[in-house]
Structure 1
């Protein structure tokens, strides 16, 4: 397994089959027992109950043991975890370990997580309120807040469920989205981002409505840009904490780096449907494999690999 964090004096510990590098002086961390439940449709369970739902994913490593991701949880109370790292071993199961959040404030309702291009071990997480956090993994079990920010144009009633960064034509571009609900469309924003200053340029906004799911639909529950520049969004139905849920992935166009804006197609093109789950997380790395994560509320969280990221 390729470990992304190499700073400091590290010892290597094998925990429930998950090989992680940890500081020799680190305090004990919460480890969730291996989950081996694999549904016929390819989903791997990662935890039980409403606090185990996954609201964002970012790739950590690819290796012979499987795919390792950092995930965000939309928990709101003290003592509930905000971040975890999960090892997916297709055909076998998952291993999960908590990642401590170190910062001046504990986030409330994290809904998005993404890698910072060309900066290994650094990530951006976004609350539903539009407050963002620049994170750096200090070791495999600790993430420290480096800086905080707020996305531009936050309005009353906005509920953000997607944020990602992509580098196109040498430019760093931020994409973030208000989720929308039924007749209220999602609003996808794009802007250049000056990373050293964490300063956003003028933003361009595109309305997005999907045709599936058809009821209780959040038009954008996460978003991602493939290596080739395609913009993918997940959409999900949410009738309540007990479901039933349905989700889909749509291709809504490409990033035009000179706008920057969405160079939209004729409409959202359906890339895949996923019945029985509320997908709130999608990450793509190199096109394959992509990883989907779910927040199935009372039914907990699940992950699976996906081919929707292929360019």
Structure 2
């Protein structure tokens, strides 16, 4: 694992947590479950108190009876529990991201790969679906793995991304977002690609926006269920006051992480100097880590 020095985000590292703790991997990641249905495709903070973090994890499962969401508890950076949440009513198919709603404690937006979104509330181990929506139509080949919300100058914007694949770049979308109505304003879009990983690459496997509106993007190599996987994290650009994204001329690599397929990240500090990451390592299950 290599970390680039990039000012306030130089501390961005992948946290992996083994569950149970005795199963900690040699590379520092910790497991929250083994096998194809245990991956982490999205992650968000539920609560923090006295060194304890409760995180909401969503999973990209598709079949009835397979877990869609769970609460993962970490103390001192170590996983101490993982409890499934029951998803009431219509089960989502292939959830890929989850994001807290600014100014609405306990409320989150979860997005599935085909573009269906779920406005949910989580209280303890109870999950309630408040409403559903579909993101504005993009390209027919779009497969979404990212969704973020950020207020800029008092206006709430949604940013989401098609993951791209090899020669096809990812596409970043942004638009004003009305949580009460679950509707979008005019959509802006632009392509995004990375140079690493270079093979079997998804150019955007998740994204996050820092307090000062920097856009962070993870990219991952996925050659199949058995791997081997590789991932990298980039400082990609800035979300502007009009909802557009300005990309840097070349994405700045913050770190690369061989052996894992990162599909989830959430900032633990305003500067994103500490981050909670999650992986979907397919047959290898799901892992998390704080860095």
- Tell me if TM exceeds 0.5: yes
Aligned to 1:281: 264
Q: Which of the pair has the greater relative contact order for Cα pairs under 8 Å at 6+ separation? A: 2
Seen in structure 2, the aligned counterparts of structure 1 residues 48 and 290 have a Cα distance that, compared at 3 Å, is same
* Mapping of residues 1-311 of structure 1, within 5 Å: 34-90=20-76, 92-103=78-89, 105-137=90-122, 139-258=123-242, 260-286=243-269, 287-306=272-291
Given that residues 216 and 233 in structure 2 are in contact (C-alpha distance below 8 angstroms), is that contact kept between their aligned partners in structure 1?
Answer: yes
Secondary structure at the counterpart of residue 23 of structure 2: coil
Aligned to 1:16: none
Instruction: Work out the CA distance in 2 between the residues paired with 1:93 and 1:40.
Output: 15
Given that residues 117 and 165 in structure 1 are in contact (C-alpha distance below 8 angstroms), is that contact kept between their aligned partners in structure 2?
Answer: yes
TM-score of the superposed pair, with normalisation by structure 2: 0.90
Secondary structure at the counterpart of residue 37 of structure 2: helix
Given that residues 187 and 208 in structure 1 are in contact (C-alpha distance below 8 angstroms), is that contact kept between their aligned partners in structure 2?
Answer: yes
Instruction: Work out the CA distance in 2 between the residues paired with 1:91 and 1:155.
Output: 40
* Stretch moving more, 47-56 or 190-199: 190-199
- Structure 1 position 92, deviation (Å): 4.0
Query: Unaligned regions of 5+ residues in structure 2, if any?
Result: 1-18
Deviation readout 1:106-154 (Å, 9 max, x if unpaired): 10000111000010100000010000000011x3112111110000024
- Structure 1 position 89, deviation (Å): 3.0
Aligned to 2:11: none
Secondary structure at the counterpart of residue 260 of structure 2: coil
Instruction: Work out the CA distance in 2 between the residues paired with 1:86 and 1:204.
Output: 35
TM-score of the superposed pair, with normalisation by structure 1: 0.84
Given that residues 70 and 85 in structure 1 are in contact (C-alpha distance below 8 angstroms), is that contact kept between their aligned partners in structure 2?
Answer: yes
Runs of 4+ in 1 over 6 A off after TM superposition: none
Aligned to 1:27: none
Seen in structure 2, the aligned counterparts of structure 1 residues 201 and 91 have a Cα distance that, compared at 3 Å, is closer
Deviation readout 1:76-124 (Å, 9 max, x if unpaired): 0000110011012346434100011123x11000011100001010000
Secondary structure at the counterpart of residue 127 of structure 2: strand
Instruction: Please report the RMSD computed on the Cα atoms of aligned residues, expressed in angstroms.
Output: 1.4
Aligned to 2:7: none
- The structure whose Rg is larger is 1
Secondary structure at the counterpart of residue 298 of structure 1: helix
Given that residues 130 and 154 in structure 1 are in contact (C-alpha distance below 8 angstroms), is that contact kept between their aligned partners in structure 2?
Answer: no
* Number of residue pairs the alignment of both structures matches: 271
Aligned to 1:29: none
Given that residues 135 and 144 in structure 1 are in contact (C-alpha distance below 8 angstroms), is that contact kept between their aligned partners in structure 2?
Answer: yes
